[in-house]
Structures are given as C-alpha cells and as structure tokens.
Chains A and B, each alone.
Chain A
Amino acid sequence: MTQTLTAKDSKSTAKAVSRPKSGGHNAERLAYLFVLPALALVVVFRIIPLIWGLGYSFTDYDGMSAPRFVGLDNYIGIAHDPVFLDSLVNMLILLATLPIWIGLPLVLAILIHQGVPGGKLFRAVYFFPAVLSSVIVGAIFNVLLRYDGSFNLFLKAMGFSAVDWLGNSSTALFSLIAVQLWATFGMSLLIFIAGLSTVSAEMLEAAKLDGAKLLQTWWYIVIPSIRPIIEFAAVVTTIGMLTSMFGLIYVLTAGGPGTSTILPEFLIWLEQGKMNRPGYASAISMVLFLMMAGLAAIQIRIMSRNADI
C-alpha cells in the first residue's frame, strides 16, 4: 500500500510528514477535519455542559421561569442539606476503605506472581465479575443478601445469626461497599500483575540469597519497585468510588434505607429526576467536579514525577 502511494509521485516525499512545515495549507486544514468529530463530541456534550452547569449553580433556575442570579445560595443550601451531608459522610466512609481496595488485590497479585498453585485460574476467576454490569451484580446480590438469602444461610450454618444486610441502615452501606469491592478488585489485580512482571527476577534472587524472608522481600523490594503502579491504581480506584457506584446503588439499595447508601453521584441523579431545581443539582455536580479535578491533579503529579525517574 505504501508503495502504490509513493509510485504516484516521487517528488511527494518532500512533503512527507517528518517535515512538519512542508505539509501545506491543504493538509493542515484537512488534519483539523480528522480531529473535528472527536473534539466536537467532547466540547458539545461535556465541556459546554460543564460551563453551563457552573452557570446554573449560581441561579435559582426552576426549569420554567427565567433564571435569576443568586450567588452562592445553592452552595449554602447544599451545605445545610442533611441528605447531601449524609451522602458526603457515606462517601468518606467509602474512601476510608481504600487501603482494603489496594491491599487485597496487591497481596493476591504478589501471590499469583510468585507462582501460587492454580494462579492462572485464580486470576481469570477473580477478574470475571469485573466484566459484568453493576446491574447484573446488584440484581444477583440483592437476592443473595436478603434476609432469607444464601449469605445468611451460610452464616447460620457457621453458627452466626442472620442479618438483614440491605434492609438495615447500619449494614447497608458496608454491604454496598463489599459487593462493589468483590465485583471490581480483579481490575486492580490485573494492573498489579502487569506491574509485577516488570520487577527484575535477579533482584528477588539476590534478596533470597541474602537470606531475606518472604515478607521482607515483599515489603522492601517488590512493593517499592511497583510503587508508581500502586499509586496509579489508588487514583483509579478513588475515581471509581466517586463515579462508578451509580449502577450498583440503583439496583442493590436504591440509596436506602433512608439515606444510608446515597452517594453524591446518586443524589445528583435524584435531584435531576425532580426536574424543578437544576441549579441545586448543578451545585452538587460542581462539588463532585472539584473532587474529580483534585484527583486528576494528583494523577498528573504522580505521572510527571514517575516520568522524571
């Protein structure tokens, strides 16, 4: 194919891509046409709506009458809204479990990397729930975690008493977190296994010859050598906690009982469904955006620091 193109005009190599300036106006104009669809989609459906939403958040717009500028009223409003505050508390509890979300797949990844019997099979099985929709996972666990469901049956067989995992406001959030962790830890597992494959075997052998214990080699050699990957996984997991819980909440608990499993992203959905105060919903959206922007800043810092090594 390359040859047929060159055969047409041997002088044409003078205009080759490696020589930026000589492409000519025509090529440059056409290059814009190639990025235009991508740029237009992103600008029309994400960036302009973001600015628009920011504007809404400073108005009393009710979906009908003309919006009026109200300054920070919506933000003051959400700061005093018990449902919003509950959603923030729930989010903080979720974020506090981050060490488990990293530690569990990390330990499993190291074990699989070190050749635990059946490692390949474990990897495939652990990752499997991650390809399923959170709707599927939520619908299944909604049945398994019922008072008369499989999980309580198992607990009773072990001599514990049954718990209404999803109907009780003190256990619903933890059930939601545990199900999401169960469903998605395979993703971090794969990321860690990929990272571990870059750790040099010689270094590990040398450590062993020095008589280092298994746990010592993990702590002093393996984990520091994949630190950038761990940081990456931590940021990706945190972003997931802020923006990938909707489907599971929607099907597993619908935010209840009460407000016990409402997270900000679900609250935005509830507010948008009411349709009568887009300004208020947008204010909550902007708080979520600020958290996303903060995470992105951390991610960029991690990436640029690792690029310096």
Chain B
Amino acid sequence: MAAVQTREKRILWILSIPMALLALSAVYPVYFTINAALKTRKGYVLDRFGLTTDPTFVNFSQAWNQSRLSEYFTNSVVVTVGAVIALLVVASMAGFALAILRFRGRKIIFITILVSLMIPVQVVLVPFYRTMIGLNLIDSRPGLIIAYTAFFLPFSVYLMTAFYARLPRELFEAAQIDGANLLRVWWHIMLPMGKPALVTLGILNTLYCWNDVLISLLVLQDQRTLMVGIAALRGEYTTNVPLLAAGICLAAAPIVLIYVIFQRQIVNGIAVGAVKG
C-alpha cells in the first residue's frame, strides 16, 4: 500500500508542472496588460515585453479623461446597480409566490419563465430592438436596466424558487399569509431568509451586467457602457497599446476586486447551478 501511495504522490507532483505552466499562461496576460499600461507610448515601442523601469500613470488619466472612460464607467455603475436591484426584487417576489403560495397557473408561469432561457437575445435581436424603440426605451439607461432584467431573470427566478422551496414550511405556517400582509411577509420574512441566495445572485448578476456587450450595443446609441467603450478604444487605438491597456485595467478592476472578495460565493453559485442543474 505504502508503495502505491508514494508512487501516486510522485505522479501528482510531476503532473503539477504542466498545471503550473498552464496557470502561468493565465497570469501572463494580466502581467502584460498592467506592465504595458505603466509604460509611455514611446517606452512601449522601444521595449514591449520587458518589465517597466519607469512606471507612469499618464495612460490611466488619459483613458479616464480624454477617452471618456469616466463617463462610461458611471453609465456601467448606474446600469449594473439598477439592474441587479431590479433582478433581486423581481426574482425574490416571483420565487416567493412560486415556491410558497398556491394559485392557479403556478406551474405554467414557472415553466414559461424557465423556457425563456432558450430565447437568448440573438434569437430575438430584430423584434427585441423594435420593441425597445416602440416602448421608447432605446438609448436610455433605464431601458438598458429593463433589458438586463429581462434577459438575466430566468436563472434568478429559478434559484430563488428552489431556495425558498427548501426552507422549512413551519416558518410560513406560523405567519398568516393572506392578501393583507403578503407584502409584509415578503419584506420581513422572505427577503431576510433568502439572503444567502440573494448574495450569490447579486454577485453573479453583477458580473453578467458589467461584462455584457451585445445588449448594451443594441440598446444604447449615443451613450456607452464601459465594455462597449473598451471595444471602441480597441478599434481606435490599435497602435497605442499602453492607453488601451490602461483602459482595460480600469474596466476590469471592479470585477477583479469582486472576484477576490467574493470568490467563495461565486464558486458556490456555479456549483449550485450545476448540481441543481
């Protein structure tokens, strides 16, 4: 037995070498981008790959001010915060009703919401765009908030329904649930009880909204969110890599921060999605 154990250990040690190389390939682009962002344009042309000896923040201020990233950043924050709050409120209300309350058509409504997972925005691009024009929601931040809520909602409703359905029923048997205080039960019981699921959904939906480019491209025209701004920056400044790199750093920073702080919740959220399927 002992021999088998040590042999297995040795195999694992050897295999960790290619794994470490693969990990380096995930770290290198991060190094390259930060390093390039800290170089002057001239410094980058002279030496693209070497570690910068004379770091400068001029690219960051240029990207932030001249390239309007500050404006795009504000748009992204407003839209992401708005959409995440809307998603959590709408999903928690729906989850409460679908998991706890009894009413006719409950199953059909649940299935309808889930089936819409099969309708990504690409499938309805033309009519969705026309719907947004018809409702006067084009090129407005509230319009984009509504669009995000509509397209990221099904998974949130599914998770909240599943979460509430697993809570012990005694919790609600004690509370009188009739028309008069339904809203109070939701506010005072369901929202606090749902906190673990709401935190997970809040983080995942923040990632989806912040990172989106297609829906934002479609809905906003004169305004831009950060990711559309970065895509445009990529097109405009193909030769000014340090400026582009600085923009990338600014756009990715909030997500990197969220990943570092909430790694556990993100990992759990994905595991729940998989195991509950």
By a beta-carbon cutoff of 8 Å, the part of chain A in contact with chain B is 1-3, 5-6, 8-9, 12-13, 15-18, 20-21, 23-24, 26-32, 34-35, 37-39, 41-50, 52-53, 56, 108, 111, 114-118, 121-122, 124-129, 131-136, 138-144, 148, 150, 153, 182, 187, 190-191, 193-195, 198, 208-209, 211, 214, 228-229, 232-233, 243, 246-247, 250-251, 264-265, 268-269, 272, 278, 281-282, 285-286, 288-289, 292-293, 296, 299, 303, 306
Contacts and interface: CB of A to CB of B under 8 A. Distances in A.
Contact of A208 (B4, B124, B211): B4
B51 interface: no
Q: Is the interface of A mostly helix, strand, loop or mixed?
A: helix
A257 B220 CA distance: 28
> Nearest 7 CB-CB pairs, A to B?
A26-B179, A12-B176, A133-B211, A194-B271, A49-B127, A34-B97, A45-B150
Contact of A37 (B94, B112, B275): B94
Contacts of B42: none
B27 interface: yes
Given A17-B177, A117-B12, A49 B120 contact: no
A65 B109 CA distance: 37
B120 A6 contact: no
A6 to B, nearest CB: 5
A234 to B, nearest CB: 12
Contacts of B101: 17, 23, 27-28, 31, 34
B176 A187 contact: no
22 contacts: A5-B188, A17-B172, A17-B173, A18-B169, A23-B102, A24-B179, A34-B96, A47-B116, A50-B127, A56-B127, A111-B19, A118-B20, A136-B251, A139-B234, A182-B26, A191-B273, A208-B4, A214-B11, A229-B275, A268-B122, A285-B125, A289-B118
A133 B150 contact: no
B175 interface: yes
A3 B1 CA distance: 59
Nearest to B188: A1
Nearest to A285: B123
B217 to A, nearest CB: 8
Given A30-B179, A31-B182, A38-B94, A136 B252 contact: yes
Interface string B83-96: 00000011101101
B12 A116 contact: yes
A134 B180 CA distance: 47
Nearest to A153: B49
Interface residues of B, number: 114
Nearest to A104: B22
B64 interface: no
A41 B271 contact: no
A194 B275 contact: yes
B227 to A, nearest CB: 4
A138 B232 CA distance: 12
Interface string B180-203: 111111101100100000000000
Given A41-B90, A53-B123, 7 more contacts: A6-B175, A28-B103, A43-B112, A115-B12, A150-B28, A285-B122, A296-B117
A178 to B, nearest CB: 11
Contacts of B188: 1, 5
Given A42-B113, A47-B119, A272 B248 contact: no
Interface string B126-164: 111111000000000000001101110110010000000
A49 B131 contact: yes
Contact of B90 (A38, A142, A150, A285): A38
B274 A191 contact: yes
B123 A35 contact: no
Contact of A2 (B174, B266, B277): B174
